[in-house]
Structure 1
Amino acid sequence: MITLIMAEDHQMLIDGVTSFFEFDEEIKIIGSVNNGEDLVKLVALKQPKVVITDIRMPKMDGIEATKRIKKQFPHVHVLTMTMFDQPEAIKQMLQAGAIGYILKNSGIKMLSKAILTVSKGEKFFDPNVAFNFLNDFIDDTITIGKSEKVVLSNREKEILLLIAEGKTSQEISENLFLAKSTIDTHRKNMIRKLELSSGSELVKYAIDMKYQF
């Protein structure tokens, strides 16, 4: 059994992942926290096999938390799950001691594969991050996830940008000269495509991805 602790400042994402693995026979979530300080404390208390952590968190970010965890408990394997695909962010997490790095929009199947891989002490990388700077970290144990990148239509991207600006479905419908029911349908389709759990998760995703389209 792979014991797992998850650190993420959005509780809804934790709840979604926890729900998915609730009856999994290989992976068991034994704790979750919303900031880096509590992550270090909980790891010290429970010493899981794998830690999933975001980078940006309150009190202590994932980079510093990973450094402290790996210094005290080198046998604990750290998997980064974040929206940040910038080279510097990836480098800092790997230098801190993480051996896995996936993006939040990669899907639950890739997350499962990443957990299983890093639990064996092997490296796992999302295929949608740049690898031209990772030569120092790549070796025979590396696994590159199979790309399951979600492709949104131009209309969906347009709606997502308006969602990121805080507009309601009614406001978006008026802006795009479409029926409100059409906007609601697009919202539901994006939640399904992106494997999100709710409308509020879609809003968070829209804000995080606002400048990446």
Structure 2
Amino acid sequence: MISIVIAEDHQSLIDGIKVFLEYEEDITVVGEANDGKKLLDIVIKKKPDVVITDIRMPKMDGITATKLIKKELPDCHVIAFTMYDQDEAITQMQEAGASGYIMKNSPLKTVLSVVRRVVSGEKVFDTPIQPQKAENKSIPLSKREMEIVKLVGEGKTSQEIAELLFIEKSTVDTHRKNILKKLNLQGKSELLRFSMERKYDF
């Protein structure tokens, strides 16, 4: 029997995976978590064969959680389940000890296939990579602006960014305006989307 723990901050995705997997006689979901710290607690307690985890989660991200899981349970197979297909994110998960990498828009049959493949000893990192790495090198942002983009991608507000970087909120707002202008983005929503897509590239 293959035991699985699922970590994802959107409960609906967890529920969807569980409903799909419950029809497999050799698979059982033994735990679920909505943040990285809870994931680590459950994994240490349940000692599953496989962990399916998002990369971007509250309290502790999936990369850090994977490192700690592999330290405690070297034989546990960790699979990243994420919307990020940047090569830097994949590399970081590989270095953390993950065995596989699945995009969230993949069919659930793919999730099942990857679970079985990693348990059999395979490494599954055949996610298509967007050819954006060369472009990233030419993004006209200063080091401070790139720091702010990364924090925006982590869901931080201007006030939270100001406190983390020990600067005034007005300074953060000015940086955000400059970032919008440099990247030709229109408003907060476009900046947030860009930041979430690119935060692992900086």
Partner Cα separation in structure 1 for residue 197 and residue 74 of structure 2: 36
Partner Cα separation in structure 2 for residue 44 and residue 64 of structure 1: 15
Q: TM-score, normalised by structure 2?
A: 0.63
Residue type of the alignment partner of 1:85: D
Distance of aligned partners of 1:21 and 1:91 in 2 relative to their CA distance in 1, 3 Å threshold: same
Partner Cα separation in structure 2 for residue 61 and residue 10 of structure 1: 14
Matched, 1:70 2:61: no
Q: Superposed, which structure 2 residues align to 1:1-213 within 5 Å? A: 1-129=1-129
Structure 2: gaps (5+ residues): 134-192
Q: Deviations over 1:58-113 (max 9, x none)?
A: 00000000000001110101001100001111111110000101101111111110
Distance of aligned partners of 1:109 and 1:58 in 2 relative to their CA distance in 1, 3 Å threshold: same
Contact 2:101–2:127 (CA under 8 A) maintained in structure 1: no
Partner Cα separation in structure 1 for residue 73 and residue 127 of structure 2: 28
Question: Which structure shows the bigger proportion of residues in helix conformation?
Answer: 2
- Match of 2:163? none
Aligned residue for 1:94, secondary structure, equals helix
Partner Cα separation in structure 2 for residue 59 and residue 127 of structure 1: 26
Residue type of the alignment partner of 2:103: L
Taking only the aligned residue pairs, the percentage that are identical comes to 51
Structure 1: gaps (5+ residues): 134-206
Contact 1:103–1:126 (CA under 8 A) maintained in structure 2: no
Contact 2:84–2:197 (CA under 8 A) maintained in structure 1: no
Residue type of the alignment partner of 2:42: L
Aligned residue-pair number: 137
Partner Cα separation in structure 1 for residue 126 and residue 4 of structure 2: 19
Partner Cα separation in structure 2 for residue 119 and residue 58 of structure 1: 27
Contact 2:3–2:28 (CA under 8 A) maintained in structure 1: yes
- Match of 2:153? none
* Dislocated runs of 4+, deviation >3 Å: none
